Amino acid sequence: MADAAPGAASASRGAPSAARRRIAAVVGVFGELLITAGVVLGLFVVYSLWWTNVIANQEAARDSDAVREQWAAQPEEDADDTTPPREFEPEDGVGFLHVPTMSGSEILVKEGTNPDTLNGGVAGYYTDPVQSSMPWDEEGNFSIAAHRDGHGAKFHDIQDIEEGDPIVFETKNTWYIYRAYAILPETSKYNIEVLDPIPEESGATEAGRYITLTTCTPVYTSRYRYIVWGELERTEHVNADRTPPEELLEASGD
């Protein structure tokens, strides 16, 4: 039998080697694409959960300072707990929410719950699909929403609120002291009955002065809504020093 030509043998040995190189090149490119995608995804997560908080908190701080400066520039008023702030500008902010067990800082509340409002690191009261009442109304449900993650994440720790905890709302003239009395850990995002003037899902059966806090759940998703209900316990007039009510003083250790 004749021996194979040396050139043919070399070609047969080189063919698999070239194929392996091509496969390795394809795998290498695919791997680089995966790494790049992972880096991009990681940067997006950092942007969504950290950088948006930084920007939103800066914006909220400026807006909060502007509201307090406006209040300070207005003359003292003889107001009761049903009097709205003078020069009432809901798009700028109607007051500050204080919930010691959820947040160690005050939360500015503005009109509306659209993304343009909430992305500014604030909470907003509902104007759609239902119209929230206001704290100074004689009855109704003051219904508020805020982000749980990103854009300030003002309601991130809403799960720390327990029944009996104080929920305080501050306007120029009045402290409104509510008490949490019911919690709904999960409900449909389309369940607007939780915002009813008499929120029956909370166990309420008659007209009163309620507050409702709403946000997304589980954490890092927007699939469901987390609800906390409170009822007005009392009001206090804001003195010249803006001394907080005892519930906030106790929480701060003063």
C-alpha closest to that of 51 among 153, 123, 136, 176 = 153
| Half-sphere exposure of residue 184: CA atoms within 13 angstroms, side-chain side | 24
Of 111, 139, 137, 145, the residue nearest 227 (C-alpha): 145
| Catalytic residue from among 98, 151, 156, 216 | 216
Residue with tokens 């003195």: 239
State how far the Cα of 14 lies from the Cα of 158, in Å rounded to an integer.
66
Q: 237 an active-site residue?
A: no
Q: What is the C-alpha end-to-end distance of the chain, expressed in Å?
A: 104
Q: In this structure, what token pair is assigned to residue 73?
A: 């520039």
Q: Which of 98, 147, 151, 156 is catalytic?
A: 147
Residue 141 sits at the vertex; the CA angle it makes with 137 and 143, to the nearest 5 degrees, is 115
Active site residue 147: yes
Question: How far apart are the C-alpha atoms of 121 and 62, rounded to whole Å?
Answer: 11
Question: Catalytic site residues?
Answer: 147, 216
